[in-house]
């Protein structure tokens, strides 16, 4: 296997991660953090880049991907949780959201944005997604060698212009970035949701290496980390540059969201050509992410649902995504957020336990204790996001450490893990010893 293959796989992973949200959140951080921009973006990069790459590395340590990783809690949990993750980051949320963002950024500025226009756009968009997803073995060639360089060039044009054409002075930090900009940026990095997507993308990376003859577990993990480093450099560079655009836009007016900030910056720098350039950037970012998620769903469900081939699943995924895309972006976000705030902490805890697993001999009790308490807090957070009345238990939950930072699940996860370790010890049962070859 050649070194350039590792680089191209790293390019592919970058493109799969880099959806529209990865453009919008850094620029919002930039405009809000102002003079505290650099510590804030540093915190953002740790969770927005570091955590997803670590998750991909964790997937390389287990033979059967996310199912086995989550299956250390219980085999049934592994199947159900992973299926939920694939549906959430696939046809039920992430794919339709990406298609809608591509439409609103690239098409709406030049049209009236009517439902018929959305319908026509999504037909063309998902036909292209399906065509590019038909042969997963060519994913690296199509995305890593063609679409990613095009995406880089489009972003480069926007970023270079910002250094010469945006002259607004950096403003004082907004309220939430005034005291702890690093930790605020750290939490904002979760919004990319890339750690969840890593559970799906990780197996694509691992499969790409295996298709090229890499079978030794240690070599596979090493190659995965090298490809991850390429991805991390690309994501970090883009996040820092785009965030700086936001910092320069603070004096140009008020904006509703990151998409509006970028649109305003593109218009200031290049006029209508800038708006078109931004549409190309977001369109490519959304397209590559949708291709990766469709491939991931096709590979996952075709191996676990009898009678369904990869082709069948990709057709089903694109049709469901197409249908949900046409209900509109706001509605998609509204019904998906409660699920996401439930899934994300569980994902983080699973990844952390994977790397620490040898310390407690892979005891399933540790996994079960940590995940159980994390899930309980996740249910609470999901109910809050759904708008349910949780006033009866809120006084109790609000006493947990890190509650104000939306990290109230951290302490229960630790307590659950310790409790599981004690149960494992006092039961005196044989430890569940897994080797890396069976993981």
The string of DSSP codes covering 18-39 is --THHHHHHHHHHHHHGGGHHH
Q: Two tokens at 246?
A: 């936001």
The answer to whether 290 and 270 are in contact (CB under 8 A) is no
Q: What angle do CA 61, 292, 257 make, to 5 degrees?
A: 110
Residues 375-410: b if buried by 16+ CB within 10 A, e if exposed: bebbebbbbbbeeeeeeeeeeebeebeebeeebbbb
Give the ranges where 303-409 is alpha helix by DSSP (H): 310-325, 329-356, 364-386, 394-397
- Domain residue ranges of the chain, discontinuous segments joined by +: 3-326, 337-439
Q: May I ask the CATH class of domain 3-326?
A: mainly alpha
Q: Two tokens at 192?
A: 């990319």
Q: What angle do CA 332, 97, 41 make, to 5 degrees?
A: 110
Work out whether the CA dihedral 99, 202, 243, 163 comes out positive or negative: negative
DSSP string, 243-289: HHHHHHTGGG---SSHHHHHHHHHHHHHTHHHHHHHHHHHHHHHHHH
**For 92, phi and psi rounded to 5 degrees?**
-85, -20
Q: Two tokens at 273?
A: 């050509």
Q: For every one of its 439 residues, what pLDDT tens digit does the chain have, with 9 covering 90 and above?
A: 677 788 888 888 887 787 767 877 898 899 999 899 999 999 999 988 998 999 888 888 877 778 888 888 999 999 999 999 899 888 998 899 888 888 877 787 777 667 788 899 999 999 999 988 887 666 555 555 666 677 677 777 777 877 778 877 888 888 889 888 888 888 788 777 788 888 877 877 888 888 788 878 788 888 888 999 999 998 998 899 889 888 888 888 787 777 778 878 888 888 888 888 778 878 877 887 888 889 889 988 998 888 889 999 999 999 999 999 998 777 777 777 788 788 888 988 998 898 898 888 889 999 999 999 999 998 998 888 888 888 888 888 888 988 877 788 999 999 999 999 999 888 765 544 444 444 4
Residue 208: half-sphere exposure toward Cβ, Cα within 13 Å: 31
Global model pTM greater than 0.85 = no
The answer to whether 43 and 209 are in contact (CB under 8 A) is no
Q: Distance (Å, rounded) from C-alpha 99 to C-alpha 415?
A: 41
Beta-carbon count within 10 A of 18 CB: 27
Residue with tokens 């592994």: 78
Q: Distance (Å, rounded) from C-alpha 159 to C-alpha 163?
A: 7
């Amino acid at each position: 296997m050649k070194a350039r293959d590792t680089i191209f796989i790293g390019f592919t992973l970058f493109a799969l991660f880099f959806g529209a949200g990865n453009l919008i959140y850094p620029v919002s951080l930039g405009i809000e953090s102002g003079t505290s921009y650099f510590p804030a973006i540093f915190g953002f990069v740790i969770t927005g880049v570091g955590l997803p790459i670590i998750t991909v590395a964790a997937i390389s340590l287990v033979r059967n991907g996310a199912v086995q990783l989550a299956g250390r809690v219980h085999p049934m949990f592994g199947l159900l949780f992973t299926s939920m993750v694939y549906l959430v980051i696939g046809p039920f949320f992430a794919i339709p959201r990406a298609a809608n963002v591509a439409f609103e950024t690239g098409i709406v500025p030049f049209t009236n944005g009517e439902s018929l226009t959305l319908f026509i756009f999504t037909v063309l968009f998902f036909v292209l997604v399906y065509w590019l997803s038909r042969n997963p073995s060519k994913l690296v060639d199509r995305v890593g060698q063609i679409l990613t360089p095009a995406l880089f060039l489009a972003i480069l044009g926007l970023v270079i212009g910002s250094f010469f054409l945006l002259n607004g002075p950096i403003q004082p930090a907004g309220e939430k970035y005034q005291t702890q900009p690093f930790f605020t940026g750290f939490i904002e990095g979760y919004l990319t949701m890339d750690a969840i997507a890593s559970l799906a993308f990780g197996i694509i990376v691992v499969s790409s290496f295996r298709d090229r003859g890499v079978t030794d577990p240690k070599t596979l993990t090493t190659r995965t980390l090298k490809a991850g480093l390429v991805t991390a450099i690309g994501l970090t560079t883009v996040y820092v540059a785009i965030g700086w655009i936001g910092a320069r836009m603070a004096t140009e007016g008020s904006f509703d969201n990151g998409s509006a900030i970028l649109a305003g910056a593109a218009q200031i720098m290049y006029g209508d050509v800038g708006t078109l350039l931004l549409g190309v950037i977001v369109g490519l970012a959304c397209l590559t992410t949708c291709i990766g998620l469709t491939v991931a769903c096709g590979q996952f469900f075709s191996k676990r649902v009898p009678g369904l081939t990869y082709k069948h699943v990709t057709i089903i995924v694109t049709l469901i995504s197409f249908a949900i895309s046409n209900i509109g972006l706001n509605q998609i976000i509204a019904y998906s957020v409660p699920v996401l705030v439930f899934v994300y902490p569980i994902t983080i805890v699973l990844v952390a336990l994977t790397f620490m697993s040898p310390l407690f001999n892979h005891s399933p009790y540790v996994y079960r204790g940590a995940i159980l308490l994390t899930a309980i807090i996740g249910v609470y957070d999901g109910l809050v996001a759904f708008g349910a009345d949780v006033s009866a238990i809120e006084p109790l939950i609000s006493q947990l450490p890190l509650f104000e930072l939306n990290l109230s699940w951290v302490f229960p996860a630790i307590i659950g893990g310790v409790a599981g370790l004690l149960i494992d010890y006092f039961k005196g049962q044989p430890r569940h010893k897994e080797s890396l070859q069976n993981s």
